[in-house]
Amino acid sequence: MAHEVGAYLCSYDTVTVWHLRDIMAGKRKLVKGTDVKHIDVPYYEHLRIEDMLRFAKQYPDVQQDLPEMEKETLKMSRAYIANIINTLVGKDFQNWVKNRVD
């Protein structure tokens, strides 16, 4: 899917067949690799994957791109999750990260 469709996906060893199935069926949103806005989120105590996901729960668009089951999402890379949230939320996420760092 990444090559043929241009989808932005996490690495092949963490993406699940169920998440790919949901994207293909239209149950999950597809983010194109060319649309991704990369962000570098430092490894600080209050910037864990769980913290980023808790922040993102208020944005339905993000929930439509990540896997339905949180267990699947937690297997994905930190950078992938941060980039998806930054792409779909933008400035609000960047400000949230900055406030956590400060």
Integer Cα distance of 8 and 84 in angstroms: 9
Look at residue 21 and tell me if it is in a domain: yes
Query: What pLDDT tens digit does each residue of the chain (102 aa) get?
Result: 565 667 777 777 777 777 777 777 778 888 887 889 999 999 988 899 999 999 999 998 888 888 777 777 888 889 989 999 999 999 999 999 999 998
Look at residue 28 and tell me if it is in a domain: yes
Look at residue 79 and tell me if it is in a domain: yes
Range of the domain at 68: 17-101
Give how many domains the chain has, as a whole number: 1
Burial class (CB in 10 A: 0-12, 13-18, 19+), 14: middle
